[in-house]
Structures are given as C-alpha cells and as structure tokens.
Amino acid sequence: MRSVVKVPDNEKIALLEEMLDLDNGTLKVETKLDAINNWDSMAVISLIALFDEYAGETITITQIKELVTIKDILDLWNSAMGSND
C-alpha cells in the first residue's frame, strides 16, 4: 500500500495551505506554526494523512511536537521521502 509521490517544495507549501484552508501565498518557509490560526489537533491529523499519502511514511506525535516552522515540515517531508528535490 506504500506509495511515494515526489513533490517540489513550492507544491508542498501549496498542499499545506490547502490543508489549513489558507489562501495561496500565505505560508512562507519561516512561518511559525504557532502563529497559524488553524494549527490545531485537526491540522495535526491532516498532516499525518498528508505524509502518509505523499511520503508513504507514518510520522509520530513526538516528531510533530518538535516542528516549529513550515521549514521543519518540509525537512521532515524530504527526509521521509529520502530525497531533497
């Protein structure tokens, strides 16, 4: 059932914006998760689903708790896929 879909960073950000019901261009790599209004437990569940779907990887709650900025999500995503494209 594992499938890995390679997605460039700008598209990853667009997927995160869609996930958080935010307008295009709202998120920057340096945006802090705490500053995002919709960053709640539902968003965490959506992020788990996004990683499972696109990276074929289960992320733990411990890993999510360590995330501070959008860049941290991108780094985790890229390492989950084993690539930096």
> Whose CA is closest to 31, among 83, 77, 74?
74
For other proteins, the closer CB: 2 or 10: 2
Q: In 3D, which of 68, 82, 74 has the Cα closest to residue 16?
A: 74
Choose among 14, 19, 10, 17: nearest CA to 52: 19
Q: Of residues 58, 66, 79, 83, which one binds other proteins by CB under 8 A?
A: 58
Q: Would you count residue 18 as binding other proteins (CB under 8 A)?
A: no
Residue 26 touching other proteins (CB under 8 A): no
Stretch binding other proteins (CB under 8 A), from 4-12, 22-30, 59-67, 73-81:
59-67
| 14 in contact with other proteins (CB under 8 A) | no
